[in-house]
Amino acid sequence: MQKGPISKYRPAPRIDLPDRQWPSRIIEKAPTWCSVDLRDGNQALPIPMSVQEKLELFEILVGIGFKEIEVGFPSASQIEFEFIRRLIEEKRIPDDVTIQVIVQAREELIQRTFESIRGVKKAIIHLYNSTSPTQRRVVFGLDKADIIKIATRSTQRIKEMLPTLPDSQITFQYSPESFALTEIDFALEICEAVVDVWQPTPENKMILNLPETVQIATPNVYADQIEWFCRNMRDRESAIISVHTHNDRGTGVASTEMSLMAGAERVEGTLFGNGERTGNVDLVTVALNMYMEGVDPGLDFSNLDAVRQVYEKCTRMQVPIRQPYAGELVFTAFSGSHQDAINKGMAAQDTAPGALWDIPYLPIDPKDIGRTYEAIIRINSQSGKGGVAYVLENEYGLQVPKAMRIEFGKIINDLADACGTELPAMAIYQAFENTYLKSTQPLALESFHSEGIDGQYACIARIEQNATRHELLAQGSDPVEAFVQALNERHIANFSVVEFSEHELSRDAKKAIIAYVQLKSEAGQTSFGAAVAQNSIQARVQAVISALNRLPIHTYAAR
Ligand SMILES: CC(=O)SCCNC(=O)CCNC(=O)[C@H](O)C(C)(C)COP(=O)(O)OP(=O)(O)OC[C@H]1O[C@@H](n2cnc3c(N)ncnc32)[C@H](O)[C@@H]1OP(=O)(O)O
Ligand SMILES: CC(C)C(=O)C(=O)O
C-alpha cells in the first residue's frame, strides 16, 4: 500500500445538493422488490445454476413473495434460454409475478431475448449499457452522443418489436450501468433520451434502474445522486425509480436504505447478497431491517433456514455465520454479561399480543424468522452464571436458585477453561449431575422413613459414611427438619439450613421433584446441594446429603 500522501486514489465527486431532504426522511413502506438472484447472482457463480436448480430457486423466490424476478440473460446461454422457456411453457409463473429478462443494447441479442419470452403473460425487458467516463473510453471508445445512440437505438428496436408479442404485457426497464460513476447530468441526459423514445405515461410507466454497479463512495453520496435525479428528472410521474446496489465497500444495505429515503421506489438485489465480487445488496437484510422498525416488508422470511438451505444447495455458496439475520451465530451470545441481560430480558418480556419486543442484544425475535431459542446462549470460557442457568433451564427445565448459580457458574467456567472449547448443553448438565445429583461421598442415604402425629414427625434414616452405617432417629415439626435435627444431634454434621427451593420436573412423561438447598456449617461455610426424587420430602433430604458432601470433610465428624 502507498503511504500518505495517497496519490493513487481520490475522493469520488460529490453532488451539489445543499438542501438535500433524504437525511430526515424515514422508510415508511416497502418498495417493489425485484430479485436478481437468477441473473446477477447466477452470473457471478463459479458454477452457474442448472435449469433444475434455477427452477428450484425460482419456486423459493415466489414463495417468499417476490412479484418481480429477473430470471436471466436469455441471449447469454442455452441454459438461460431453456429455463425461461420452461417457466413459460410449463406455466410455472403465478399470475401476480412478472419475470424480467436482461439484454445488452445489441440487435442480435434483443432478437433472442424476444424469442425467449414468447407466450409470457407479463414481462419486464431490461436494457442496459454502461455510461461512466471510464467505460465510455475503455470499453466502447465512444463519446457521450454515441453512447446515447446505443441506448436509444435499442430502445427504439425493442419498441418496434413489441407487436411480435401481442398477448404479453411488457414493461420496459432501462439501466445506465455504472450510474453511480457517471456524471449525474449525463446520467439524466441519457435516461431522458431513452424516455423520449419509449414515451411512458403515468398510467403506463417505465422503470429507470440507477445502479451502484461498483461502490466508490460513502452511501450518502449515492443517496444524493438518487435525490438529485428524482428532483431534476422530466416526467418524473412516468417512471419508477429503481436502485440496484453492490457491496464493494460493504455498504450495499446502507446505500439501498438511504436511496429509498432519497426517493427510490423499487429495489433490485439478491438473497444473502450473492452477486458479482462482494455481491449485490442482501435483500433479506434490507427487508428484515424494515421489519425491525415496524414496516411490513411484504416478503416472508418466517422460515429463513429453509430459504438458506435451498439457496446454498442451488448456488453452492455458503451463508457466513455472521451474516445479518441468517448467519448461524447472529442470535447467539457467548459472553457472560450479554447472556445475563438476555436471560433477564426474556423473563421480563411482555408476551401479550401486540407487545413491543424489547430484549437486550436481540433486536428482533428470532422466532419471527423461524430461529429457535435453544441456540441463543452458548457456553464457553467467556460465559457467566446467567448463561449457564439459562441453558439448564431451557434445555433441562432446572430453575437453579440465584445463590447457587454463582457456585455452579464458576464450576462451568473452570471446566470451559480446562477444555478450551465450547461446552454443549449436555456437558453442562452432566457437570450439574456429577456435582450435585449423583453425590454419594462421603455420605450416602440408604433409606428414609417418616411418620407424623398431631403435627409432630419422627424420622428413621439410614446413612453410610465412609463404609460406616448410621441409623438416625429424631423428631421435628416436619420430616426434613427431623432429619436435619438427627444429623446435628449425632454430630454427623453440624449445620443449619439457609434455604430450600423445589419445583416439578417432567422427564419422559414422568413427574419428579427437584429440590435445591443451601446449608451453612457451624464453621460458617456455605454449601449447595440438589436432588431429584419422587416427592418433595425425599428430594429435600437427599439434597441435604448432596450439600453436606460438598463441605470439606473436616467441618463435620461422626460420633
Ligand atoms: C453490470 C452487469 O452485471 S451487466 C450484465 C453482465 N452479464 C453478463 O455479461 C453475463 C452474460 N454475458 C454473456 O454471456 C456474454 O457477455 C454475451 C452473450 C452478453 C455477449 O457475448 P460476446 O459478444 O461473445 O462477448 P462480450 O461480452 O465480450 O462482448 C463485448 C462486446 O459487447 C459490447 N457491450 C458490452 N456491454 C454492452 C451493452 N450493454 N450494450 C451494447 N454493447 C455492449 C462491448 O463493447 C464489446 O464490444 P466489442 O466486441 O465491439 O469490443
Ligand atoms: C445491469 C445493471 C443493472 C447491473 O447489473 C449493475 O449495474 O450491476
- Protein residues whose CB sits closer than 6 Å to any atom of ligand 1: 40, 43, 73, 75-76, 104-106, 128-129, 139-140, 150, 177, 213, 276
Q: Which atom of ligand 2 is nearest to the CA of 40?
A: 5
Evaluate: CB of 211 within 6 angstroms of ligand 2: yes
- Grid cell of 295 as nine digits: 414496516
* Polymer length of the chain: 559
Residue among 43, 73, 128 whose CB has most ligand 2 atoms within 8 A, to mutate:
128
Is 417 marked within a binding site? no
DSSP of 369-433: GT--STTSB-BSTT--HHHHHHHHHHHH-----HHHHHHHHHHHHHHHHHHTSPBPHHHHHHHHI
Q: What is the CATH number of domain 443-549?
A: 3.30.160.270
Q: Which atom of ligand 2 is nearest to the CA of 280?
A: 8
Q: Rounded to the nearest whole angstrom, what is the distance from the C-alpha of residue 268 to the centroid of ligand 2?
A: 9
Asked whether 135 and 166 are in contact (CB, 8 A), the reply is no
Does this chain's domain 28-182+265-315 share its CATH topology with 385-437? Answer: no
Find the ligand nearest to 155 CA.
1
Evaluate: CB of 177 within 6 angstroms of ligand 2: yes
Does residue 193 register a pLDDT over 80?
Answer: yes
Q: Work out the average pLDDT over 233-262.
A: 98
Residue among 100, 102, 104 whose CB has most ligand 1 atoms within 8 A, to mutate:
104
**Banded model confidence at residue 303, pLDDT cuts 50, 70, 90:** very high
Q: Which pLDDT value is given to residue 556? A: 55
In the chain, what are the domain boundaries?
Answer: 28-182+265-315, 385-437, 443-549
Q: How many CB atoms lie within 10 A of CB 148?
A: 21
Q: Rounded to the nearest whole angstrom, what is the distance from the C-alpha of residue 55 to the centroid of ligand 1?
A: 25
Q: Which pLDDT value is given to residue 412? A: 95
Beta strands at 443-453 and 456-465: parallel, antiparallel or unpaired: antiparallel
Does residue 147 register a pLDDT over 60?
Answer: yes
Q: Work out the average pLDDT over 437-459.
A: 91
Helix (H, G, I), strand (E, B) or coil at 353: coil
Q: Which pLDDT value is given to residue 455? A: 85
Q: Interhelix angle for 107-116 vs 78-89, to 10°?
A: 30
- Grid cell of 49 as nine digits: 445454476
Q: Work out the average pLDDT over 379-395.
A: 91
Q: Interhelix angle for 425-432 vs 402-419, to 10°?
A: 120
Q: Work out the average pLDDT over 216-225.
A: 98
Which carries the bigger pLDDT value, residue 508 or residue 167?
167
pLDDT per residue as tens digits for the range 81-131: 999 999 999 999 999 999 999 999 999 999 999 999 999 999 999 999 999
Does residue 374 register a pLDDT over 70?
Answer: no
**Banded model confidence at residue 349, pLDDT cuts 50, 70, 90:** very high
pLDDT per residue as tens digits for the range 1-46: 999 999 999 999 999 999 999 999 999 999 999 999 999 999 999 9
Helix (H, G, I), strand (E, B) or coil at 492: coil
Q: Rounded to the nearest whole angstrom, what is the distance from the C-alpha of residue 124 to the centroid of ligand 1?
A: 20
**Banded model confidence at residue 293, pLDDT cuts 50, 70, 90:** very high
Backbone conformation region of residue 298, classed left if phi is above 0, alpha if psi is from -120 to 50, else beta: left
Q: Which atom of ligand 2 is nearest to the CA of 36?
A: 5
Q: Which pLDDT value is given to residue 467? A: 84
What does each C-alpha distance from 285 to 214, 253, 258, 297 come to in angstroms?
19, 7, 14, 11
Is 244 marked within a binding site? yes
The CATH label, of 1.10.1740.10, 3.40.190.10, 3.20.20.70, 3.20.20.140, for the domain at 28-182+265-315 is: 3.20.20.70
Mean of the per-residue pLDDT values for the chain? 95
Q: Which atom of ligand 1 is nearest to the CA of 140?
A: 45
Is 470 marked within a binding site? no
Q: Work out the average pLDDT over 534-550.
A: 96
Q: Which pLDDT value is given to residue 559? A: 43
Q: Which pLDDT value is given to residue 497? A: 96
Evaluate: CB of 129 within 6 angstroms of ligand 2: no
Q: What is the CATH number of domain 385-437?
A: 1.10.1220.20
Which carries the bigger pLDDT value, residue 454 or residue 57?
57
Q: Rounded to the nearest whole angstrom, what is the distance from the C-alpha of residue 176 to the centroid of ligand 2?
A: 8
Q: Which atom of ligand 1 is nearest to the CA of 73?
A: 11
- Grid cell of 104 as nine digits: 445488452
Q: Work out the average pLDDT over 326-334.
A: 94
**Banded model confidence at residue 454, pLDDT cuts 50, 70, 90:** confident
- Grid cell of 95 as nine digits: 399470475
Is 129 marked within a binding site? no
